[in-house]
Amino acid sequence: MKIVIFEAARLGDFIESTPLIAGILKSYPGADAGVIALEKSVLEALRLFFPGLPGRLASLPGIGWPGEPDSPKDAGLNDADLENADLLINLSVSPAALEIVESLKPRMVLGPRRNSRGEPEVPPAQKLAMATLALNRRLSRLNLSDIWRSLDPNSPTRLAVPALSPDDLEKAEEVLFAGLPPGLREDIGRGLPLAAFHLGAKNRLRRWPVENHAKLAGLIFKRKPFAAVTLGSREEIPLCLGFGKFRRELCPDVPLINLGGKT
């Protein structure tokens, strides 16, 4: 069976789709499967989360199709593999993505596709989940991962966890421990838990207030001591510094490791 997974969104959306991908691979053992993506970061994550699952880049602007393989290592997906798949899983509602899905002529589509009138059409369960999110994000208990999982009831409820190599873990440890006071380093070595706080989002309206992150850190610490690790891009360093300010005011006992702009 030939399965193509079309991930036209960005890295965060790909990570939230990992329960569905894991479920599909489990539901169709031995299937000839692969992922199409628009960003190299998605393919890099793909290698971590699903080693051996081939992927390649596609270009949506101008419907440039098919895209060039990201590298010779990813050339396992050729043009013939992309067309006439037994199953294509589309994780995008954009008009350009729907046009690409249609051009590949899959035998069956899970996820958004165009109907006979050329309009976007989604499965009823997914439509319900998307409508709930659209009505009120503050009240909804659904996440994007719940929407994609609605396509396959057998998908696991949790995100897939990448298997990191010893080299990856050693590099992560170097970044984590650089500049730490000896006492905190020893506490972590003895098993003090870490909790990561990713403070940013591309759109500021999608960011949870930094002060709320600090309040949450204080609530967690009352139940179980831990060290907070703030994460973010170079542009998000001010958010990490803001977390440090609120931590000093709201939960000064929580040890803090600021990795903003360092990972």
d(CA 24, CA 155): 7
The mean pLDDT value for 162-173 works out to: 87
Closest Cα partner for 168 from 240, 234, 263?
263
The torsion angles phi and psi of 22, rounded to 5 degrees, stand at -60, -40
Contacts of residue 222, Cβ cutoff 8 Å, sequence gap at least 6: none
Task: Give CA separation, 230 vs 43, 146, 176, 252, in Å.
Answer: 25, 26, 11, 15
The mean pLDDT value for 111-118 works out to: 81
Of all residues in the chain, the percent with pLDDT exceeding 70 is: 88
Asked if residues 82 and 4 have their Cβ atoms less than 8 Å apart, the reply is yes
Number of neighbours of residue 41 by Cβ within 10 angstroms: 13
Q: Is the pLDDT of residue 74 over 70?
A: no
Closest Cα partner for 196 from 175, 225, 227?
227
CA 145, 148, 153, 156: dihedral to nearest 10 degrees?
Answer: -40
CA-CA-CA-CA torsion sign (251, 252, 256, 258): positive
pLDDT at residue 226 in the model: 97
Class of residue 169 by CB neighbours under 10 A (exposed 0-12, middle 13-18, buried 19+): exposed
Of all residues in the chain, the percent with pLDDT exceeding 90 is: 37
Question: Helix or strand or coil: residue 62?
Answer: helix
Q: Is the pLDDT of residue 17 over 80?
A: yes
pLDDT at residue 59 in the model: 60
Q: Please give the mean pLDDT across all residues of the chain.
A: 84
Residue ranges of E strands in 166-247: 194-198, 227-231
Asked if residues 88 and 66 have their Cβ atoms less than 8 Å apart, the reply is no
d(CA 214, CA 219): 9
pLDDT band at residue 69 under the 50/70/90 scheme:
very low
Q: Is the pLDDT of residue 44 over 80?
A: yes
Higher pLDDT among residues 18 and 127, named by residue: 18
d(CA 232, CA 213): 14
DSSP state of 72: G
Per-residue pLDDT tens digits for 171-218 = 888 989 988 988 999 999 899 999 999 999 878 888 999 999 999 999
pLDDT at residue 9 in the model: 78
The mean pLDDT value for 232-239 works out to: 94
Rounded to the nearest angstrom, the gap between the alpha carbon of residue 229 and the centroid of all alpha carbons in its chain is 19
Per-residue pLDDT tens digits for 134-144 = 676 666 777 77
pTM (predicted TM-score):
0.72
Helix (H) or strand (E) holding 242: helix 237-250
pLDDT at residue 105 in the model: 85
d(CA 107, CA 86): 5
Largest CA distance in the chain: 66
Residue ranges of E strands in 91-201: 109-110, 113-114, 120-121, 194-198
